[in-house]
Chains A and B, each alone.
Chain A
Amino acid sequence: MAFLLRRLAFYLAAFLAAATINFFLPRLMPGDPIEIMFASAGSELSLENLNALKLTFGFIDAPLHEQYFSYLKSVFTGDLGRSIKYFPLPVTDLLGRALIWTLGLVGIATLISFTLGTFLGVMAAWRRGTLFDSVASLLAIFSSSVPAVVVSLIVLFVFGYTLRWFPNGYAADPMLDPAFSWTYISSVIYHGALPMLTLVTVLTGGFAVTMRNNMINLLGEDYIVMGRAKGLSDSNVMLWYAARNALLPTVSSLAIAIGTILSGSLIIEVVFNYPGLGNTLYQAILARDYPVIQGQLLIMTGAMLVSNFVVDLSYVLLDPRLKKA
């Protein structure tokens, strides 16, 4: 319990840090930040709206520390300001809508690639030195070193444009209304196939390499020899003696990888014109819609912290030592 509370306090501090960066960045710009931000967005706002925007950024007639607290107050009450491009749509609404697609994509892809990568890593470590190991390791190196933007462009070129097997954009057929029906769901799956394939390709290698290395380092341990000496079957020793213990550091590397996964998904969504956070963000970057760009940092940090906390929780379940501490 104390462990989890300490982690929670740390996450709060980290979120505060991200919010602080957001608060100071516009103030470090030369000149009047609000004017620059809105001039470069190329939009014309009435004085009234401009004042409303200033308020959400904490630009009030008060000393700096009061501005800071006013900004923090609006952030912690879930007010991330309003989009400039789609004024007066609140940033939380704009990003919240997109977040669902990203979370679906990232969640499923992580699950698939973590399972697949871990399995490949276990097999490669267990049969290290064999042809299977060499091929799997080479594929893993390839998958973990090629940029997501490159993989997604190549996948789009091959399956989207050349073979025309899958659509080149959108999360579902734009003619369909969202509904809980097989036509709609199958359309979502059909449209999500390429982004999913790309994300799984990009992620699996990293998990496989981590798992292989962790597992190989464990194979010399006495309890593995003990397991064999007891006459347990090969697969029994592999899964319950070696893989189970190698999984622990792999799970903690998953916590760090979540940032990479989210970033990968951002790029992939842009390439496949998938209506998730990444694409919304891309439109915001093109329009220099600063409140949205800043809002995504907080939302992504939030997502990262929540998933780290989930990993912490699973750590408590996987590692009995932590329960006592």
Chain B
Amino acid sequence: MTLLRQLLHNKKAVIGLTILVLIVLIAIFAPLLTEYSPVRRVGRPHQPPSWEHWLGTTRLGHDVFSRLVHGARVSLAVGIGAGLLITVIGTVLGIIAGYKGGVIDEVINFFTNMVLVIPNLPLLLVLAAFIGQASPLVIAVILGFTSWAWGVRVTRSETLSIRQRDYVKSAEMLGEPSWRIMTSEIFPNLISIVGINFIGSIIFAVIAEATLEFLGLGDPNTVSWGIMLYNAQNASALSVGAWWDLLSPCLALALLGLGLALVNFAIDEIANPRLRTGGMLARWVGLVSAGEGKL
């Protein structure tokens, strides 16, 4: 809870959380926000924004606003689902490798480094291409199983330093089983790393899903921001002047990415106070530099 209170004192976190809460609320109440179905033809093709259609219509006559608010559900679900999977795999493997050491560490570390040097997007493209039209669920699962390496690396190196601390040593002396040391001595001290990993993974998953769908590897019947981009691009929305069709999902993705990144940076600043900017720090730096040379 201290983390939450500290977050609320951080300007970046407040802006980021506001954006996120807004998007989550929109996703939850999507059907109440619009009278139009996201998959039905409700108007003439490529109508510019108007009172009837706030963000205009697509080439197929779908309401862009309705698709946008319904699409938020898919983007968030894939982001959070895949992010959770990535974080769980990364944290578990990272703690085990860092704490157990020896052969287990070497094996995990070897595979982690290997996954890190095989470029992620090209690999995803190959996997998605063989799967065919990948549904959001499938995309979330393959993202989860291919993108955990960074988390392992960071968690492992942090675990390596924590296992040397006195409280871990004393737990070992007391004869605590190693699973207990890993879950209740080491894990609680990794919370900020795990949080950063989780949010970073959500950002990555949201971007990756949109990218795969934009490239035509998604299921075109899904209502998601990536598929909106794909349809708009296929309808040559920009060259026929239907900017609303393409820019709406663009701005939504940008906003979601920004909100998540702001929260992530705030957690980073709380975990490592030296990274802070503005506010208190500015006053402190000002005092120090005012005092410089006076000694």
Contact = CB atoms under 8 A, between A and B. Distances in A.
B281 A128 contact: yes
Interface residues of B, number: 56
B3 interface: no
Interface in A191-230: 212-213, 216-217, 219-220
A259 B120 contact: yes
A3 interface: no
A29 B130 contact: yes
B150 to A, nearest CB: 7
B216 A285 contact: yes
Main secondary structure of the interface of A (DSSP, over half): helix
Contacts of B262: 141
Given A142-B258, A282-B215, A301 B119 contact: yes
A85 B132 CA distance: 17
Interface string A10-38: 11011001100110011011000000000
A242 interface: no
Nearest to A266: B121
Given A145-B261, A146-B253, A308-B117, A134 B274 contact: no
Nearest to A296: B122
A217 B210 CA distance: 35
A293 B129 contact: yes
Q: Select the residue from A40, A161, A300 with max chain B CB neighbours within 10 A.
A: A300
Interface stretch (A61-69, A73-81, A151-159, A170-178): A151-159
Given A141-B258, A300-B119, A304-B119, A129 B285 contact: yes
Interface residues of A, number: 67
Main secondary structure of the interface of B (DSSP, over half): helix
B2 interface: no
Nearest to A263: B121
B114 interface: yes
B287 to A, nearest CB: 11
Contacts of A156: 238
Contact of B246 (A22, A26, A142, A157): A157
A137 interface: yes
A263 B122 contact: yes
Contacts of B265: 137, 141
Contact of A304 (B118, B243, B258, B278): B118
A258 B118 CA distance: 10
Contacts, number: 170
Contact of B118 (A14, A40, A216, A266): A14
Given A146-B258, A256-B116, A128 B285 contact: yes
B210 A262 contact: no
B239 interface: yes
Contact of A145 (B113, B116, B211, B257): B257
Nearest to B292: A228
Q: Select the residue from B119, B216, B260, B282 with max chain A CB neighbours within 10 A.
A: B119
Given A146-B254, A262-B119, A263-B211, 7 more contacts: A10-B113, A21-B123, A141-B261, A146-B257, A282-B215, A285-B217, A308-B117
16 contacts: A10-B113, A14-B118, A17-B118, A29-B130, A128-B281, A128-B285, A130-B285, A137-B265, A146-B253, A149-B211, A217-B274, A259-B117, A282-B215, A286-B216, A293-B126, A296-B125
Interface of A: 10-11, 13-14, 17-18, 21-22, 25-26, 28-29, 40, 128-130, 133-134, 137, 141-142, 144-150, 153-154, 156-157, 160-161, 168, 212-213, 216-217, 219-220, 256, 258-260, 262-263, 266-267, 270-271, 281-282, 285-286, 288, 290, 293-294, 296-297, 300-301, 303-305, 308
